[in-house]
Structure 1
Amino acid sequence: MHSLPLRLVIFQSIAIVHCRYVIRGEKTRYSFFCPIPNGHWYGPNNQSIVSNSDRYEIQYSFDSTQLIIDYITLLHEGEYICQNNQTNDIIKRYQLRLGTLNDILLAYFILIFSILIFIPIFWFLGKKYSGINHQ
C-alpha cells in the first residue's frame, strides 16, 4: 500500500515523457509548401524524398508542390529543401525540429521533482491517516 503513490508518480511521469516525445510525432502531420509545380524535395542529409512512401507524401498541383510528413521521430529532424527540377535552384528551405535538449531535460526534472516532493507527502499522509500507530 505504501508503494502505490510511488508507482503512481513514476507512471505519471513516464506517461508525460511518452506523450511529449514518442506519441507527439505520430499524431502530428507536418506540411511544407513549395510555390512551383515541378519541385523536388530533399530531406535531412540531402536525401532525395520519394513520393508516397510510408513516411512521406508529395502532392502536386498546377502551381505548387506540397510535402506531407507523417510519423516524425528525432531521426527525421533537419532541413527539408524544395529544389526546382529544371534549374536546380533552391526555392524553399524548412527547418524541422521536434524538441531541444532542454525540453527533454525538463520532463526528467519533473519526474525527479515529483518523486522528491510527493512521495514524502503521501508517506506522511498515509502514516497519519492509516490508523496504524507507529512509534
Structure 2
Amino acid sequence: MGTSCQLTSLPCGMRLNVTVQADGTTCNSSSQPKAVVETAPCIPTSVAAALNCTSNIASITWYSALGASWYLVKAESSQGYKTSCNNTVTQCDIPNLQCGQEYSITVMGMNGVCMGPASQPVTLVSGT
C-alpha cells in the first residue's frame, strides 16, 4: 500500500529491472516503464599481495567480483600511513610503501552507483 516500497535482501552484483503495477479489486493497471536497479558489487576474493623488495612496490591480485566495473585497493600500515590504487582489471601495484611496516590490504569492487564490501584483509610487511 502507498507509493513507495523497500526491496531488501537483493543479491550483490546484479542489474535488476523493476516495474510497478497497481492492483485493484476488479482489474489491474498495466505495468509502468521499468526502472533499472544496480546492486553493489560482490566481495572480491582470493586477495594476494607480493612485495618487490628492491622497489618496495606491492603487487596486489584478486579474483573478479560480480558487478564490479573497477576496483579500489586500500593499504593501511600499522603506523597509520594510508595509500591506495585502482584499476579496471584484477591487479594493482601500490608504490611508495614506507619501509619496515606491516600493511593491511583490502580490495573493494566499484560500479557507477555503489561501492561493494571490502575483501578479507591480507597482511604484507614492507622491506627495511
TM-score (norm 1): 0.29
Higher relative CO (Cα under 8 Å, sequence separation at least 6) belongs to 1
- Name the one with the larger strand percent: 2
TM-score (norm 2): 0.30
- Name the one with the larger helix percent: 1
